[in-house]
Amino acid sequence: MKQYRVDELRPKDYERIKGYLDKHFGSPQMEGVYWVPLAPDLLDQVQAAHVDCQPFYFAVVLEPTVISFELLIRTRKRIRCDCIHYVNEEQRDYIIGFADSIFERLKILT
């Protein structure tokens, strides 16, 4: 799995990140897995054409010492489809910026 990963989280940072993710994306249905919606203006041509598969998401997996931002865009409506694939450059930059913004907002040094 391709992902943007930050490790060596301190316990207090984990708690702050968890609180932030819970507040903005709800409690995870699977332990530590948050589904973050991808903005419609970031969809590629295939994803934009697959109206029945929308909305699209990327997963954020939070563990006590690690947070991973998966670089796979997926729908929660289907397991397999042409619209589910690894990010393009614009989507990758967005996810990395999203990840970095959490650390900036919470004033967590990485």
The answer to whether position 75 is within a domain reads yes
Rg (CA), the chain: 14
**Assigned domain for 110 exists:** no
Q: How far apart are CA 86 and CA 84, in angstroms?
A: 7
Strand partners, 1: none
- 3-state DSSP call for residue 40? helix
Asked whether 66 and 14 are in contact (CB, 8 A), the reply is no
Residue 108, pLDDT score? 92
> 63 — alpha (psi -120 to 50), left (phi > 0) or beta?
beta
Return the pLDDT at 6.
Answer: 95
In a domain, 98, yes or no: yes
Q: pLDDT, tens digit, for every residue of 59-88?
A: 999 999 999 999 999 999 988 999 999 999
pLDDT digits (tens, 9 = 90+) for 36-56: 999 999 999 999 999 999 999
Number of domains forming the structure of the chain: 1
Residue 44 lies in a domain: yes
Q: Does 20 reside within a domain?
A: yes
What average pLDDT score do residues 82-99 get? Answer: 97
One-letter amino acid for residue 100 of the chain: D
Structural domain of 98: 3-105
Quick check: is 57 in a domain? yes
Its pTM stands at 0.92
62 lies in some domain? yes
Among the listed residues 42, 40, 92, the one whose alpha carbon sits nearest the alpha carbon of residue 69:
92
Q: pLDDT averaged over the chain?
A: 95
The better pLDDT of the pair 105, 109 is held by 105
Whether the predicted pLDDT of 109 surpasses 70: yes
Cα 47 from chain centroid (whole Å)? 17
Bridge partner residues of 86 (DSSP): 72
Per-residue pLDDT reduced to its tens digit, 21-35: 999 999 888 889 999
